Amino acid sequence: MQMSFRWYGSSDPVTLANIRQIPGVVGIVTSLYHIPAGEAWPEDEIRALFQTIEAAGLQLSVIESVPVHEDIKLGRATRDEYIANYQTTLRRLAAAGVRTVCYNFMPLFDWLRTSLAYELPDGSTTLAYFDEEVDEQALLAGRLRLPAWNLETDSHLLQEMLVTYREMGTEALWDNLAYFLQAVIPVADEVGINMAIHPDDPPWPVIGIPRIIVNRAAFQRLIGLCDKPANGVCFCSGSLGASADNDLPLILRELGEAKRVHFVHLRNVRKVGPRSFYESGHLSADGSIDMLGLVRVLAEINYAGPVRPDHGRMIWGETGNPGYGLYDRALGLAYLNGLWEAARAFV
């Protein structure tokens, strides 16, 4: 597998020089974060991104992500314009050498937490989600923001979209995803890009908004919507693992044997209630997920694609983007490298 690390660009406190010093890292996972959802990415900016990463002695392994405009998710009349821009972006990324694009179809918000600095007994802080603490007004007013979000909309429009999503329901959202995939996946297939959909995080409805990429059945349905090799998934152990209903090794093996795992996020979570969890250290013993079991499956299916440690705790006094500090993610990556080396030895 290709061990990679997420980088948020020139404004990221974690530099490419820092990342290069982590043993085993070869790839960078990044995006052009300043470009609003729905716009086609400029060719010169794509080339510049490649050049910056290659000059640091690394390679661009995954674009995470090319955001899907809300009008596409809502099925509005303007969606064809935004889909055309998405197709243009994929063609330009492929021409520059990109082979994997991660995206999601989460309505209104990207991954969601109720605390960005939940304190653990050892004094470190982490991301946490407690269902009873979800603050709808804080979300709609923009008082709670997370690094992954690419949503610059005023609270009035957010409220309108919230009402629309609640009214449209799950099946209409599936229909809109199908429309998007049937337009975009053939282009990705043509230009040699693997599309990896990220599961919804958390994998259940939030404040009445439907979420659909949540379990094994959802992945099976997704593949059936456009059955081409480019239509695959980003297997995220933390997102799927927040639900006790998900059998992670089964899902990973099934998708991997079907050659539909195009990207992997490996992180651990500790479940503390039916819909509550916090993000632990990567070690199996720290959370509720058998990390060795997942890496063993990756070895058994001979997975050769990009993998990255996902969100980490903030440790040793580090400050920065919540979940995206250097130290704990680097520790997690070293741990995953060790698991991979051991698992490969016994395949």
In the 8-state DSSP scheme, what is residue 285? G
Catalytic residue among 12, 82, 226, 265: 265
**Distance of alpha carbon 225 from alpha carbon 219, whole angstroms:** 10
Q: Is-catalytic flag, 265? A: yes
Within 13 Å, how many C-alpha atoms sit on residue 187's CB side? Answer: 19
Catalytic residue among 311, 327, 328, 335: 311
Q: Is-catalytic flag, 156? A: no
Q: Is-catalytic flag, 310? A: yes
Catalytic residue among 71, 200, 201, 310: 310
**Distance of alpha carbon 8 from alpha carbon 56, whole angstroms:** 15
Catalytic residue among 69, 198, 262, 282: 198
Q: What are the residues whose beta carbons fall under 8 Å from the beta carbon of 295, sequence distance 6 or more?
A: 266, 336, 339, 340, 343
Q: Is-catalytic flag, 69? A: no
Cα dihedral value 131, 136, 142, 144, nearest 10? -20
Catalytic residue among 201, 234, 236, 303: 236
In the 8-state DSSP scheme, what is residue 209? B
Q: Is-catalytic flag, 324? A: yes
Catalytic residue among 82, 86, 129, 324: 324
**Distance of alpha carbon 47 from alpha carbon 37, whole angstroms:** 19
Q: Is-catalytic flag, 34? A: no
Instruction: Return the structure tokens found at 12.
Output: 């990221």
- From the list 150, 84, 76, 139, the residue with the least C-alpha distance to 112 is 139
* Residues annotated as catalytic (active site), given as ranges: 198, 236, 265, 310-311, 324
